Amino acid sequence: LDREAAMHTQAPHSADLSNLWMPFTANRRFKAHPRMLAAARGMYYTAADGHQVLDGTSGLWCVNAGHGRQPIIDAISRQAAHLDYAPSFQIGHEDSFLAASEVAALMPDGLDRVFFTNSGSESVDTALKIALAYHRARGEGQRTRLIGRERGYHGVGFGGISVGGIAPNRKAFSAVLLPGVDHLPHTHDLARNAFSRGQPAWGGEPFADALESLVALHDASTIAAVIVEPLAGSTGVLVPPRGYLERLRAITQKHGILLIFDEVITGFGRLGAATGSAFFGVTPDLITLAKGISNAAVPAGAVAVSRGVHDAILDAGAGGIEFFHGYTYSAHPLATAAIRATLGVYRDEDLFARARALSAPFEEAAHALKGRRHVIDIRNLGLVAGIELAPREGAPGARAAEAFGKCFDRGVLVRYTGDTLAISPPLIIGEDEIGRIFETLADVLATVD
């Protein structure tokens, strides 16, 4: 016991760092200068050296209700003691059905069939497979083409990187990406829309009309689905210009193409509504979910599917297994317990409305950085902000990386991709803490070359 207690209180360097191959990390650089987290509660992490770090990113956009929430801890603990694991193939456990109903109740009307996964990447691959299965079930098996978008992030499965549009995630695997994928242009227009507050006021329709060009090129009869993030997060916070999502919906509907919204980030309150779909008033055919679904306390994800898509696949099933897909851990009892408790916290504390109410002071605080050194754009919606810095000459990303490190050392966790800093705090954040995040950033930017 003494040894165990000692391990938890020692500096990070007591562990041998060589065995762990860290994901999406410059391993050698990290291991030369490790920054470690040791504990978390509410809005704060405790770093391994003991200093408090305000969580400006909800972990990785996922701890929407804040850390260490007692109802979630209790639910997971109870479930672990009560039903540690139950298969979900050809047998069920009640919590999985209750969790599905509770997730469905938060989805747009009609998207009330729920398939459980363990991550965003799995949700994306599941949704793409559902899209293909749907067309095949309806006798349109030639509809196999999938359309993503430049700069899109849809996780790291082969399906997700194929429809994704982030070049470094794709290039090493380019020869084996899914065939028959095409991409819409991204919607970032810095020259016209820099420092827009909320949704850029105009310009959405022409970006969406690019889908008509792809339809003309490939023919609608070959296209299964279009997948986009309603607000692109991981690429550096790209807010959809007004009219964009509405036009995408109209074009997909006209051509019988399924529309998938990847709401792994925008789901569960990030924009001040249960979903981005509800926030923007645009309903797709499928929604991919993860992250905030379980407050990240247990890995979990889901795909919410329209009844029409679900029923078409079941109708074609001829009494056997209708959809040959699923995970050992689909609807894992710890995940469904975490999901139910998390949704309870969101409801009891009205956190989506809280995020909505905080989005105005959050926007003010973010845009107060305008005019600071290096800042070339500020983008925001709900409780998400992207602060884009001019890249350092010959070293893209270095400036944001330096700002990230200095913010951490001063007790604020931010995130960066390329030279964009992303802020996405838990929805329980207070106005003082919002102020602290952006004031710390302002101080730090003054010290970054």
Locate the DSSP E strands across 135-249. 145-149, 181-184, 223-228
Site string for ligand PLP, 219-258 (x = CB under 6 A): ----------x---xx------------------------
Residue 348: how many other CB atoms lie within 10 Å: 9
Residue choice 56, 108, 148, 155 for contact with ligand PLP (CB under 6 A): 155
Q: Is 121 one of the binding residues for ligand PLP (CB under 6 A)?
A: yes
Does residue 81 sit in helix, strand or coil? Answer: helix
Closest CA to 225 of 151, 129, 344: 129
Q: Kindly compute the dihedral angle of the four CA atoms of residues 280, 129, 304, 92, in this order, to the nearest 10 degrees.
A: -170
Q: Is 264 one of the binding residues for ligand PLP (CB under 6 A)?
A: yes
Backbone dihedral angles phi then psi of residue 272, each to the nearest 5 degrees: 95, 20
**Kindly report the CA angle at 167 between 166 and 170, in degrees rounded to 5?**
95
Q: Is 262 one of the binding residues for ligand PLP (CB under 6 A)?
A: yes
Q: How far is the CB of 262 from ligand PLP (least distance, A)?
A: 4
Backbone dihedral angles phi then psi of residue 394, each to the nearest 5 degrees: 75, 0
Q: Among all chains, which residue has been given the structure tokens 């599941």?
A: 126
Q: Is 119 one of the binding residues for ligand PLP (CB under 6 A)?
A: yes
Pick the closer one to ligand PLP by CB: 128 or 251: 128
Q: Is 120 one of the binding residues for ligand PLP (CB under 6 A)?
A: yes
Q: How far is the CB of 411 from ligand PLP (least distance, A)?
A: 24
Q: How far is the CB of 192 from ligand PLP (least distance, A)?
A: 25
* Stretch near ligand PLP under the rule CB under 6 A, chosen from 86-94, 147-155, 279-287, 318-326: 147-155
Q: Is 154 one of the binding residues for ligand PLP (CB under 6 A)?
A: yes
Pick the closer one to ligand PLP by CB: 152 or 444: 152
Contacts (CB under 6 A) with ligand PLP, residues 85-104: none
Q: How many residues bind ligand PLP (CB under 6 A)?
A: 14
Strands 258-262 and 181-184 turn out to be: unpaired
Pick the closer one to ligand PLP by CB: 48 or 245: 245
Pick the closer one to ligand PLP by CB: 96 or 126: 126
Task: Give Cα 364 to chain centroid, integer Å.
Answer: 24
List the structure tokens of 184.
Answer: 């819409």
Q: Are 73 and 63 in contact (CB under 8 A)?
A: no
Q: Are 338 and 77 in contact (CB under 8 A)?
A: no
- Please give the radius of gyration of the chain, using alpha carbons only, rounded to the nearest integer: 22
CA distance 28 to 183: 34
Residue choice 47, 63, 100, 124 for contact with ligand PLP (CB under 6 A): 124
Q: Is 265 one of the binding residues for ligand PLP (CB under 6 A)?
A: yes
> Which run of H or of E encompasses 254?
helix 244-254
Q: Is 304 one of the binding residues for ligand PLP (CB under 6 A)?
A: no
Pick the closer one to ligand PLP by CB: 57 or 196: 57
Q: Is 290 one of the binding residues for ligand PLP (CB under 6 A)?
A: yes
Closest residue to ligand PLP using C-beta atoms: 120
Which parts of this chain interact with ligand PLP (CB under 6 A)? 119-121, 124, 153-155, 229, 233-234, 262, 264-265, 290
